[in-house]
Copies of this chain bind each other. A is one copy, B any other.
Amino acid sequence: MVNSPDDSHVDSGHRAADELFRTFEGMIQSGELPDGMPLPPEREIVERYGLSRTVVREAILALSNKGLIEARPRFRPVVRKPSFDTALDTVGNVVNRLLEEESGVKNLFDMRVMVEVALSRNAATQANREDISRLKEALEANEAEIYNMDRFFETDIQFHRILYEMSGNPILPSIHKAYITWLQPNWVKMPTRPERNQLNFESHTAIYNAILMRDPDEAELVTRKHLSDAWDQINNILMRSKP
């Protein structure tokens, strides 16, 4: 039995390119290649590591695909510090395809409900003055745009974003962004009317009040109702477009 000298792993990628990939991964992680720095030219890497350009290109492509660097068509690739945002970006493709299936959207939406319910419950027990004042601000901005469809949409999202930010966990805003990105396409087809906006604003108010009142059960209740309404809307659209 022939054994590779080093790899204990299941030889996943390509031996050489994979190794180079890990090399650069390490250099990025260690800060040797700081955020924003362009990678050396391919031919220089070729020379420095004694590899073929083929291998170098594959490694770079892999770095790009994994979101570690940003490679525009004819420019040098640029190191891109990883964030939960970029992490969620890289799954975008896969998730989008999952959403095409049967109950994909429903499942993702349910996840969102679960998270937002938890967020509003937590907010109701832990929010501090500043959190609440930010939420109030968002709420007022929301009210001010009831008759402006596009702006209302933005302030709606902003209100929810504040909820995610109030968690104090930097992962959650990234998740919010991901939800928006993935669920938006199903959402925007909805015909919005001022009455609809009015209802949504009232839901937001109810959530805000429940948090203000430090009543997690109420916060959960109104959050569920709010999202359930939203789902009904989405569902109507989905039923109509995919019978």
User: Can you list 29 A-B contacts (CB < 8 A)?
Assistant: A1-B89, A2-B67, A2-B90, A3-B64, A3-B70, A10-B72, A11-B73, A12-B72, A15-B73, A25-B93, A65-B65, A66-B93, A66-B94, A68-B93, A68-B94, A83-B98, A86-B94, A87-B91, A87-B94, A88-B91, A90-B91, A90-B94, A107-B171, A108-B171, A110-B169, A111-B172, A114-B122, A115-B115, A118-B118
Interface residue? A8 (CB, 8 A): no
Task: State A108–B12 Cα separation when bound (angstroms).
Answer: 26
Interface residue? A95 (CB, 8 A): yes
Task: State A54–B53 Cα separation when bound (angstroms).
Answer: 11
Interface residue? A170 (CB, 8 A): yes
Interface residue? A92 (CB, 8 A): yes
B-contacting 9-mer, from A55-63, A197-205, A228-236? A55-63
Residue of B nearest to A167 (CB): B114
Q: Do B111 and A169 have beta carbons less than 8 Å apart? A: yes
Query: Which of B2, B70, B93 is in CB contact (< 8 Å) with A70?
Result: B2
Task: State A118–B224 Cα separation when bound (angstroms).
Answer: 13
Task: State A98–B25 Cα separation when bound (angstroms).
Answer: 12
Interface residue? A163 (CB, 8 A): no
Interface centre among A71, A86, A171, by most B CB within 10 Å?
A: A171
Query: Which of B58, B68, B122, B170 is in CB contact (< 8 Å) with A107?
Result: B170
How many Å from the CB of A57 to the closest CB on chain B? 7
Task: State A87–B157 Cα separation when bound (angstroms).
Answer: 25
Q: Do A98 and B84 have beta carbons less than 8 Å apart? A: yes
Q: A65-B65, A82-B97 are known; give 18 further A-B pairs, CB within 8 A.
A: A2-B92, A3-B64, A3-B70, A5-B93, A14-B73, A15-B73, A25-B93, A29-B100, A58-B61, A66-B90, A82-B98, A84-B98, A87-B94, A87-B98, A88-B91, A107-B171, A110-B171, A118-B118
Residues of B within 8 A of A100 (CB): 29
Interface residue? A212 (CB, 8 A): no
How many Å from the CB of A177 to the closest CB on chain B? 11
Task: State A171–B12 Cα separation when bound (angstroms).
Answer: 25
Q: A57-B58, A65-B61, A118-B114 are in contact. Are A93 and B4 (CB under 8 A)?
A: yes
Residues of B within 8 A of A95 (CB): 84, 87
Residues of B within 8 A of A62 (CB): 61, 65
